[in-house]
């Protein structure tokens, strides 16, 4: 399963409870009211556990986490960095 599908499935299951009409990779979680402050924490735990990464405080900003697209890009950067660190 690719990252996009995996994250979308998590969001649909946990915040939309199966209803994904109109929900796509560009939908803003904040603007559409899909997620609140505790919901963000649930999302972070999911990302950290699923991708074995640690998200820093300063990375917890809407630019990284407010849509599926943004998360996918963010995860790519994080996992690449991690691989780079391992290679070094």
Partner 1 sequence: MCGIAGIYNIREPFDISMDTLKSMTNALNHRGPDDCGIYLDDWVGLGHTRLSVIDLSSGVQPIHNMDKTKWIVYNGEVYNYQELHSDLRKLGHKFYTTTDSEVVLHMFEEKGINCLKELNGQFAFAIWDNKKKELFLARDRVGIRPLHFSIIKDRLLFASEIKSLFMNKNTKREIDPIAFDQVFTFWSTLADRTPFKNIKELLPAHYMIVSNGKVTIKKYWDVPFYPEIECTKKSLHENIDELRSLLIDAIKIRLRADVQVGTYLSGGLDSSAISAMVAKNLNRQISTFGIRFEENDFDEGNYQKLVASSLNTKHHEIMASNEKIGQFFPDVIRHCEKPLLRTAPVPLFLLSQKVREKQLKVVLTGEGADEVFGGYNIFRETKIRNFWAKQPDSKKRAALLGRLYPYIFNNSRQKALLQSFFSKGLDDVENPLYSHLIRWNNTAKLKKFFSDEIKSAIGEYDCYENLKQNLPSDFRSWSSLSKAQYLETTIFLSHYLLSSQGDRVAMAHSVEIRLPFLDPRILDFMGKIPSHWKIRGLNEKYILKKCFQNNLPKQIVNRPKHPYRAPIKQSLLHQKHSHFVKEAVSESSLKKSGLFDHKKVNKFINKLESVQTPSEIDSMGLVGILSSQLLYQQFIENLPAIDNSNSKEWFIVDRRSETLENRN
Provide the binding-site residues for partner 1, judged by CB under 8 A. 13-14, 16-19, 30-31, 33-34, 36-42, 44, 57, 60-62, 65-66
| Least Cβ distance, residue 49 to partner 1 (angstroms) | 13
Distance CA 41, CA 14 (A): 12
Question: Among positive and negative, which fits the CA dihedral 31, 33, 35, 37?
Answer: positive
Q: Which is nearer to partner 1, 62 or 83 (CB)?
A: 62
Cβ at position 51, least distance to partner 1 in Å: 17
Cα dihedral 35/41/47/50 (nearest 10)? -120
């Amino acid at each position: 399963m690719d990252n996009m599908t995996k994250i979308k499935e998590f969001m649909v299951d946990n915040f939309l409870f199966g209803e994904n009409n109109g929900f796509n990779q560009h939908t803003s979680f904040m603007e559409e009211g899909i997620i609140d402050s505790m919901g963000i924490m649930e999302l972070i735990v999911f990302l950290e556990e699923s991708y074995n990464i640690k998200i820093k405080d300063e990375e917890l900003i809407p630019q990284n986490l407010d849509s599926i697209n943004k998360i996918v890009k963010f995860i790519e950067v994080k996992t690449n960095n991690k691989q780079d660190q391992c290679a070094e």
